[in-house]
């Protein structure tokens, strides 16, 4: 894949949310409206660009324009998922710490769940493009593609599936290279 920079908004999205949360905890007074507007616009742009990149890649794979590069898609998918793991752990710790907030805990949990869910949806859309590329490349059948695509939207399982498929496709690619050298 030539333009890997298009995928930067996907993992950046969750870290911008965490930056906003820590900004509230760091300062004793709420930040000024101008700063929050800038953070909001950056967050909105990362979300929309990540969504747009995922949809674009799905359309490009569907039109058979990019599926020949499916192993790099799968490796990029694993990289994106692994980059987000520290943010998921941090959000989990924040949700545990928020349980001392009394009646506010439910609202904080809902907000943190929203951040996690939107991040998984953004990375899951890219995962679908990677799975479709593998299917077009005849490395996965339809049932496996559907199962792995659904698994890409489930917390924790998405990272495991991405890493397993990256290892599987890289070993398959290595075997293909070895076989082509003997021919």
Scan for tokens 């939207």, then name that residue.
Answer: 153
Residue 182's pLDDT band (boundaries 50, 70, 90)? very low
Using the predicted structure, report yes or no on whether residue 49 has a pLDDT greater than 80: no
pLDDT of residue 177: 45
As a whole number, mean pLDDT of residues 17-39 equals 66
For the chain, what is the largest distance between any 2 Cα atoms, rounded to a whole number of angstroms?
69
Domain span holding position 86: 4-182
Q: Is 119 left (phi over 0), alpha (psi -120 to 50) or beta?
A: alpha
DSSP state of 37: H
pLDDT at 93 over 80: yes
Could you tell me how many helices (H) and strands (E) the chain has, helices first? 6, 0
12-21, 49-58, 82-91, 165-174 — most confident range? 82-91
Residue 180 reports pLDDT greater than 50: no
Structure tokens at 18: 């965490």
Q: What per-residue confidence (pLDDT) applies to 178? A: 47
**Residue written as tokens 């333009």?**
3
Domain count, the chain: 1
Q: Taking 90 as the threshold, does the pLDDT of residue 150 lie above it?
A: yes
Burial of 81 (0-12, 13-18, 19+ CB in 10 A): buried
Structure tokens at 169: 């496709």
User: What band does 4 get if pLDDT is binned at 50, 70 and 90?
Assistant: low
């Amino acid at each position: 894949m030539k333009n890997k920079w298009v995928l930067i908004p996907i993992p950046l999205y969750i870290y911008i949310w965490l930056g906003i949360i820590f900004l509230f905890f760091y300062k004793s007074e709420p930040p000024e409206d101008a700063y929050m507007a800038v953070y909001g616009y950056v967050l909105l742009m990362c979300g929309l660009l990540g969504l747009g990149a995922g949809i674009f890649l799905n359309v490009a794979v569907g039109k058979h324009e990019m599926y020949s590069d499916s192993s790099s898609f799968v490796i990029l998918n694993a990289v994106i998922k692994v980059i987000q793991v520290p943010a998921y752990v941090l959000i989990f710790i924040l949700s545990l710490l928020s349980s001392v907030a009394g009646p506010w805990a439910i609202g904080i949990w809902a907000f943190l769940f929203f951040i996690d869910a939107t991040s998984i949806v953004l990375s899951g859309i890219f995962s679908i493009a990677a799975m479709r590329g593998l299917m077009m490349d005849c490395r996965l059948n339809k049932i496996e593609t559907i199962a792995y695509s659904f698994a890409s939207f489930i917390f924790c399982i998405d990272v495991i599936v991405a890493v397993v498929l990256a290892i599987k496709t890289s070993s398959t690619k290595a075997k293909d290279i070895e076989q082509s050298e003997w021919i």
